[in-house]
Chains A and B, each alone.
Chain A
Amino acid sequence: MKKLCLFFSCLLLLCWSGSLCGYFSTHQILIAAEPAMHISCANLIVEGAMPYIDFVDNATPVLLYLFTLPVLLSKLCFLHPILIFNLLIVLLTIVVFALITAAVKQSGSKGLSLLFYLPALTLSVITSQLYLIDEYGQESMVFMLLFLPYLLERYLSSTGAHKTSPAWRKIFAGVLAALALLLNPIYLLAVLVVEIVCLTALGEVTLFKIRHRYLGLELLACLGSMLAIVAILYLSAPLMVSTYLGPITNLNLLSYDYFYDNLGFVGKSPDRRDLVYAFVVFFIMALPAAGRCLLVRLMCTMAALGFTWLVCSGTLYTHQAFIMTAFVISAFYLALARYLRSMRSVLFEGQLFAQLFAKGENLSRQIYLWQESKPLVRTSLLAGLPVLCFVTINYFCLKNIAADQFFSLANINYYGFGLKPDLSFFSDTVEKNTEPKDLVWIFSSQVRPGFPLITQLRRRPGYLVWAFPLHPLKILHERSTPEQALRLTQLAQLTQFEAGMIDHLRSELNSVRPPRLILIEDGEIWDSLKAAGICTIIEGQYDNLEPLTPLNGDEIALHRPYEYVGHRLGFSAYKLKK
């Protein structure tokens, strides 16, 4: 039965990976806004730019540097970095499961009982990725994948099942967890909370237990790797680190402090109550099992943390709910596996369900023995089914797409093709008025619609990758109270940052390669740039184009809908004079 679980889990995961590869090989430029923006930033890094100095984004340096991997691979094989990025996430999923499977198999008798939960774990990752497929590759999904092996290692250590395990696996899990935690400063809370839960799982705490069961190699590897990564970053680029910890962190904190009042009205933020309801129901269903199984407890803990992060986000985009959703699904499936096992012996003893269970088990055993006796069949299944999934998904994705919806990526120097509906809003304007690698400014209070468009069409963002600093800076000027010493320091630091940012924008406009096209969101963003004198320069050097609006019927008909908060405002458009 246990080997059967392992076999089916592997098969399931490979089929899912094959399906995803099929999907993304059709939708080669399909990506969520945030990872697309990070790819563009990583591209700037590869070209020699330094984060926060040469361009401004609010992601951590670790996240930005991790995203250089698909960019570098893209430069080697001339495939679109979006396609490579999506495939890398599929690969990461496989690697993570390989690690988990190795951990389960190498952990003696205690770990072997875990094999029963492997299908549940596999299914949970598949369910969450499938349900939130539009958010594929988001930072939260990467965090979940990188952190999962660490959770399992912590479970095995805390339950005393790690004695025979090889050290490399634990160190690897620790390093992955360190990378996960450094993706976003708020994720650091996870390590603290997970360790509290692991500590209390020891029961009566003694020094012996702490030494032998609590202080696992993966924990030390995680903490050590975090310190090493931070030290390397600081020693190699102290200005980058200090700028991130200074003005950028202050801007992020201000975004938390100052709630966007427009969100109070109906329909002004994504209504993902379904995810919160699922969180509540699944969490409650998993709670009974959490009392008995540390792994379920850890999953529930991470789901509760995910809920915290969702609440703290202030905007409640779907991707911000991914951690909560994915971990609560994991907890629920693990709990369900437990209930099914215990129900078999307790609730329906000698009854219809027990007979059904027994028959199912018997059938599974026969299938397993059959494929075990035929290694060729097994290999064919493991290799053939994923390929079949790939082909099938590919076929169904391409089936209903008209020929005129395809376009070649050759004009942006990549192999492959793109689908027009995958392009983001305003793609026609950008394509018509700019060339690949041209500098394009699209400033709005949200990542969209600037991204993924700029990344999809291989344009370059300017110094201000997106206009996230403008709103908190405006609010800060309006509401800061000088009597508060902390705010005063913050104000001075941010005023200096703001002055530098405006200087950068001016010099970019007056450079030899200024932005070819500028789109500025009306309202607050326009007002802020106008107050800084940027709009006057633009109006002098650029031709005014027809204003654009995401509410335009053609735009809505041609592109996928996207989530936004507050109001969908129009954009003023400018083209560089010849």
Chain B
Amino acid sequence: MQGRFSSKPFFQSPAFAAKICAIGLIAVLSLRMLISVWLHPLRIGWDPALHLQCAQLIVAGGLPYVDMFDVNPPLIWYLDTVPAITASLLNMPVTLAFNLFMLALMMLSASLCALIVLNKLPKSDLIVNLALIFGLLYFNFFLGFDFGQREQIFVLLYAPFMFLRFARYQGAVVGRREAVLVGLLAGVGICLKHYFLFNAVCIELFLLFHFKSHLKELLRNRIFVAENWAAFTFALIYLAHFLFLPQIVKDNYFGFLVPAFARGYQFWDTSLAASLAAPDKRTVFLLLAGGLILALSYCRRYQLLACVAAFALSGVVPYLMQFKGWNYQDIPAFAGAVILLCGGAAALISSVIQFAFKLRSEQQLPIVTIITLLLTAGLSCASAAEEFHQVETNTKFDMERIGYSGNSPWADIDSPFTKIMLDNAKFSDPVIFISNAVAPGFPPLTQLRMTPGSRHLHCCILSVLQYIQDVSDSSPECTRLLSYQQKIADQYAEDIAKNKPVLIFMQNAPSAEYLAPFAFDKNFKNYKKIEEDIVGFSVYKLQPSAKVVP
């Protein structure tokens, strides 16, 4: 048997086997994700749906923080214009375009990592390093409704940078073009949220201490290099672009939203126990601890494991700094844990094979490649068939109702509001959700292709202002910020009068209470209350007579 195959390049060259393994893994897992994306064309989480909606508004000519109000920095909206434009060009659901965009990011990230692993890192570490790439793809399958969050995008964009930096410190020769590309991607990833800078700094510190080098060499060949310049330049350009935004944008963002959230973001704070030890949260941190222990066991032999361990662990700090306990905020820690566990498991299996069969790591590669690819493909096929069956047997939503062809599982758009929205409004009709959270307005608005009837896509800001009112002093700055409450109520009134939203969903508490002092009810004079309490919301429908604009 061995004689029959020994002449094949696959068995002769570990590098060739590794190449096949990398291509195979990326192809199989991407295909598996593609099937899932295709079967769920409308599936999306609340935050990604909100960002996508903002991107659509920007594509339609809207201005951030003027025609759409949200506190998040605008980079994610700019990034989301890619799927937004694609969707409008190809007349496909924007959610599907977004999920395909995420899939493309996954493939790009894994391919870049694979190129670095195959060409720039030691051949003796190939098994473990390829397993790390497997982990980088694999964690995406567990995100559910958090698929597409900025944390996931950061992990995908930053991973090639981390691999390249590690290779650079190990002495690999890095071409300028690839370094610039990887650096730019990392720059985009880091700038998505300022917290991500902490992860990047941690990795740089790790590398600095891990590899001994003279100061001059360190500065010249390790720090002031193309990928760092590219990431830094992107960050500078991004920061500089704020200077060129219209004054009203700057006033609204830096003059109101940022200072308000800086003072009142604690409204959603939770406790440390709830962040780390609650049953639905602790699994991530237990996985992380398991991954760290595995990485420690093998970091002497496979040094990249230690670097990934530093990345995974660094994800805990931004999660706790935000202190909301929201699941998506721990995605970098979770992704790092999954990547570590995959790498650690590969190291463990490799050492067992080495002990039992006296085969060196490179010698194991061909057979490990075959087994891994067969297993991955087999399991992917089985799970895809199961998902297909599940989708087929469940209730479907005919997407013709929103101007597209095909079906989507009803479960993906199911919410207490879906039926009311579909019964009372057509796609592209303006609808308003006045709620102190992104949900439940999103994702239904984005999924059902309805347009936001107000510049205030949600009214989280009212909770923030209420918090400032409750806990802060009566300093001029607080007074100034609190004066926006009236302004926001007026803006809502103006939008309702101008856009005549077909439906208004008003959160009974606390949003209605926030707006009550401003005689907000008068805005509903053309509306009929059709529901009193659907999961805490009153629903108002525009009366037919009021639709005609005088």
A residues near B (Cβ < 8 Å) are 193, 196-197, 200-201, 203-205, 257, 259-260, 263-273, 276-277, 280-281, 283-285, 287-292, 297, 300-301, 304-305, 307-308, 310-316, 335, 339, 342, 346-349, 351, 565
Contacts and interface: CB of A to CB of B under 8 A. Distances in A.
Contacts of A269: 271-274
B206 A204 contact: no
A313 B351 CA distance: 34
3 closest pairs, A vs B, by CB? A288-B210, A269-B273, A288-B209
Nearest to B333: A280
A261 B299 CA distance: 39
A257 B279 CA distance: 8
Contacts of A305: 289, 293
B310 interface: yes
Contacts of B355: 204-205
A307 B285 contact: yes
B202 A312 contact: no
A346 B213 contact: yes
Contact of B314 (A204, A284, A346): A284
Given A200-B301, A266-B266, A315-B273, 7 more contacts: A263-B278, A277-B320, A297-B300, A310-B276, A315-B277, A346-B212, A348-B215
A287 B277 contact: no
B389 interface: no
A291 B300 contact: yes
A447 B158 CA distance: 46
B293 A193 contact: yes
A311 B214 CA distance: 41
A299 to B, nearest CB: 10
A301 B296 contact: yes
A271 B266 CA distance: 14
B398 to A, nearest CB: 39
Contacts of B338: none
B277 A264 contact: no
Given A268-B273, A284-B206, A284-B310, A259 B279 contact: yes
A385 B300 CA distance: 42
B317 interface: yes
Given A304-B289, A311-B282, A280 B317 contact: yes
Given A205-B351, A280-B316, A267 B209 contact: no
A107 B458 CA distance: 68
B293 A287 contact: no
Contacts of A287: 206, 210, 299, 306, 309-310
A356 to B, nearest CB: 15
Q: For the complex, would chain A's binding face be called helix, strand, loop or mixed by DSSP majority?
A: helix
A283 to B, nearest CB: 6
B359 to A, nearest CB: 12
B354 interface: yes
B313 interface: yes
A259 B205 CA distance: 37
A289 B266 CA distance: 38
Nearest to A349: B214
B277 A312 contact: yes
A314 B277 contact: yes
A500 B427 CA distance: 66
Contact of A276 (B205, B213, B276, B278): B276
Contacts of A271: 271-272
Nearest to B355: A205
B302 to A, nearest CB: 9
A315 B290 CA distance: 21
Nearest to A263: B273
B186 interface: no
B270 interface: yes
B274 to A, nearest CB: 4
B298 A200 contact: yes
Interface SS of chain B: helix, strand, loop or mixed? helix
Interface in B297-341: 297-301, 303, 306, 309-310, 313-314, 316-317, 320, 323, 325
Contact of B293 (A272, A301, A310): A301
Interface of B: 202, 205-206, 209-210, 212-215, 218, 266, 269-274, 276-279, 282, 285-286, 289-290, 292-293, 296-301, 303, 306, 309-310, 313-314, 316-317, 320, 323, 325, 351, 354-355
Contact of B272 (A270, A300, A312): A270
B42 to A, nearest CB: 31
Contacts of B276: 276, 310-311, 316
Given A263-B273, A283-B313, A314-B273, A342 B212 contact: yes
B215 A290 contact: no
B157 to A, nearest CB: 21
Contacts of B323: 273
B437 to A, nearest CB: 16
Contacts of A265: 270-271, 274
Contacts of A272: 272
Given A290-B306, A316-B273, A349-B214, A280 B313 contact: yes
A349 B270 CA distance: 50
B272 A316 contact: yes
Nearest to A317: B273
Contacts of B279: 257, 259
23 contacts: A203-B301, A205-B351, A259-B278, A263-B273, A263-B274, A263-B278, A264-B274, A264-B325, A266-B271, A268-B273, A269-B274, A271-B272, A273-B323, A276-B316, A284-B202, A284-B313, A288-B209, A289-B209, A291-B210, A308-B289, A308-B290, A311-B286, A313-B277
Contact of A285 (B205, B214, B285, B300): B205
Contact of A288 (B270, B277, B306): B306
A196 B325 CA distance: 33
B296 A300 contact: yes
Contacts of B278: 259, 263-264
A287 B205 CA distance: 10
A500 to B, nearest CB: 30
Nearest to A315: B273
Contacts of A289: 209
Nearest to B280: A259
Contacts of A335: 209
A304 B293 CA distance: 7
A268 to B, nearest CB: 5
A8 B206 CA distance: 30
Contacts of B206: 284-285, 287-288
A201 B298 CA distance: 8
Contacts of A201: 300
A491 to B, nearest CB: 20
Given A265-B271, A273-B320, A277-B317, A297 B277 contact: no
Contacts of B273: 260, 263, 268-269, 314-316, 565
A277 B323 CA distance: 13
A288 B310 CA distance: 9
B367 to A, nearest CB: 19
B352 to A, nearest CB: 9
Nearest to A307: B289
Contact of B289 (A197, A311, A342, A347): A311
A300 B266 CA distance: 33
A48 to B, nearest CB: 39
Contacts of A308: 285-286, 289-290
A290 B202 CA distance: 16
B313 A312 contact: no
A107 to B, nearest CB: 21
Contacts of A264: 270-271, 274, 278, 325
A316 B277 contact: yes
B522 to A, nearest CB: 36
A335 B296 CA distance: 14
B362 to A, nearest CB: 14
A287 B213 CA distance: 17
A38 B206 CA distance: 42
Nearest to B298: A200
B277 A268 contact: no
Taking each of A265, A276, A287, which has the highest tally of chain B beta carbons within 10 Å of its own beta carbon?
A287
